[in-house]
Amino acid sequence: MQADEAHRARRAAVSIAASLGLTAHHATVLHDSNKLTLRLQPCDVLARVAPATHQGALLEVRIARRLAEAGCPVATLIAPEVFVRDDYEVTLWTYYEPVTTPAIRASDYARALEHLHAGMRGVDLPTPHFTDRVAEAQALVADRDRTPRLADADRVFLAGTLDRLRRAVAGSGRPEQLLHGEPHPGNLLRTATGPLFIDFETCCRGPIEFDLAHAPDEVGDHYPGVDHHLLRDCRTLMLAMITTWRWDRDDLFPDGHRLGVEWLSELRDGGPPLP
């Protein structure tokens, strides 16, 4: 967020916490992108703040609440609702102190994701299909105003790659279910009680391989019943999508343009390496 937006977002989070009887004298920024993640102290609550136009918080809260009730490995809500203040949506979550242990083992990662997927099969809420997310990337590639630095040849290449892989994954015939959408290591916390998934605003429906494409390569080797050819296509599709986001003129990802150039070159070289 821009500095003035971040200031108003912090103020909204502190105000909502106070209205709930939580003491929040300080709001430390833990992550800043299209959504601000704050640690409120001394109450030690995690607040996620986004412009109200974002409109993803309600679905995230509903899904997180259902998954927690099913005993899935997910971060828990302090209050199971979305608060609106000064044109910002705020959700309040348990803050988990970082655990300084070695990285989560691939087998534990796969087990946690399998447990999450099992719980998600019992969640019956209207959610986007993974192809809707691909369509957002395709629209961005086609919009020269939003991607002005993307060369014509690269634009044609990215558009073709997204279309080809969307068709391949959608036509795979694999069972589809509710997915996390982006279960990458940044969305899996190491806590004293074990690994916990966060950030459910990207939930969508599709084959489990689409989720596994966001996890480290070794995780797929420990997840039962994986179609590794489809997983390869999903990994390349995922790389094409995140490459597209880096060419957005409004992208706030650190060092985003350099990564966009690097990932585009990787795609031209055939995509992610085979496991």
N- to C-terminal Cα separation, the chain:
37
3-state helix, strand, coil in the chain (%, to 5): 45, 20, 35
High-pLDDT (> 90) share of the chain, %: 83
Q: What's domain 106-269's superfamily in CATH?
A: Aminoglycoside phosphotransferase (APH), C-terminal lobe (3.90.1200.10)
Residue 162 to residue 129: CA distance in whole angstroms: 15
pLDDT given for residue 67 in this prediction: 96
Question: Looking at the predicted structure, is the pLDDT value of residue 253 above 70?
Answer: yes
| Average pLDDT for 88-116 | 93
Residue spans of the domains in the chain: they are: 3-94, 106-269
For the stretch 157-206, pLDDT in tens is 999 999 999 999 999 999 999 999 999 999 999 998 899 999 999 999 99
pLDDT given for residue 273 in this prediction: 57
Q: Is the dihedral of CA 123, 211, 224, 166 positive or negative?
A: positive
Tell me the fold of 3-94.
Phosphorylase Kinase; domain 1 (3.30.200)
Contact 227, 218 (CB under 8 A): no
Q: Determine the Cα angle at 264 with ends 227 and 160, to 5°.
A: 65
Q: Is the dihedral of CA 82, 59, 179, 263 positive or negative?
A: negative
